[in-house]
């Protein structure tokens, strides 16, 4: 009755599509450790917790969701989910994300070993999105020598040039 019962979860883990193998180091459930650091010239530095789920269903695509929480109150904060695609037989990567702040973005870049660097190609937003608007986003993901996933996000807004906004390390849970 449920569409999800058509997916292989209830049977056996789906076989990974070889196209996404270069990104297999991102797969899993990850939890910030230590809490992430937020910065920006216009903001007081802040910390946040984040849960990350990166999975696949056998397609040549990864599915992701990033869910941030306030470190003290545990209230949900920034949330985004989307897909990561690889161009077959290349290291070209496309990252598509919808965010609870009312923006939707496409980033492109490449994976080299256990490092993924991407930059925004297009950003769309709802008509009443909070200002200042983000104009460009770059991210780097890497698996560090301790087997932890790291994400660094920089952005340019209508008032500030490209500057780091987030840095976070996640342990696999
Ligand atoms: C503020 C963008 C992810 C927490 C902002 C601002 C922008 C922005 C444009 C306003 C900056 C200013 O006022 O000059 C983004 C983008 C993200 C992202 C594009 C993802 C790609 C996150 C995440 C957190 C976070 C994961 C974690 C909790 C905050 C906080 C502020 C802020 C606390 C200041 C208060 C507020 O404006 O809500 N962000 N952000 N952001 N961001 Fe992010």
Residue-wise pLDDT for 145-154, tens only, equals 999 999 999 9
**Pairing state of beta strands 76-86 and 46-55?**
unpaired
pLDDT band for position 51 (cuts 50, 70, 90): very high
Ligand 1 mean position to 85 CA, how many Å?
A: 25
Complex ipTM over 0.85: yes
With a 6 Å cutoff on the Cβ, whether 123 touches ligand 1 is no
What domains appear along the chain, each with residue ranges and CATH number?
Answer: 3-172 (2.40.128.20)
Q: 62-88: string of b/e by CB count within 10 Å (b at 16+)?
A: bebebbbbeeeeeeebebbebebbbee
Q: Cα–chain-centroid distance for residue 168?
A: 11
Question: 31 with 48: CB under 8 angstroms?
Answer: no
With a 6 Å cutoff on the Cβ, whether 83 touches ligand 1 is no
């Amino acid at each position: 009755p449920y569409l999800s019962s058509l997916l292989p979860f209830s049977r056996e883990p789906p076989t990974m599509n070889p196209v996404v193998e270069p990104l297999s180091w991102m797969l899993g459930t990850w939890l910030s450790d230590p809490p992430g650091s937020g910065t920006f010239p216009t903001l007081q530095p802040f910390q946040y917790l984040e849960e990350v789920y990166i999975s696949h269903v056998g397609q040549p695509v990864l599915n992701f969701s990033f869910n941030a929480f306030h470190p003290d109150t545990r209230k949900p904060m920034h949330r985004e989910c989307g897909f990561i695609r690889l161009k077959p037989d290349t290291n070209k990567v496309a990252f598509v994300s919808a965010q609870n702040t009312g923006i939707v973005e496409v980033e492109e870049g490449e994976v080299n070993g256990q490092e993924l660097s991407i930059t925004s190609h297009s950003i769309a937003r709802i008509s009443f999105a909070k200002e200042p608007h983000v104009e460009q986003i770059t991210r780097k993901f890497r698996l560090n020598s301790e087997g932890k996933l790291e994400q660094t996000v920089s952005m340019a807004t209508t008032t500030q040039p490209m500057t780091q906004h987030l840095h976070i390390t996640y342990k696999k849970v």
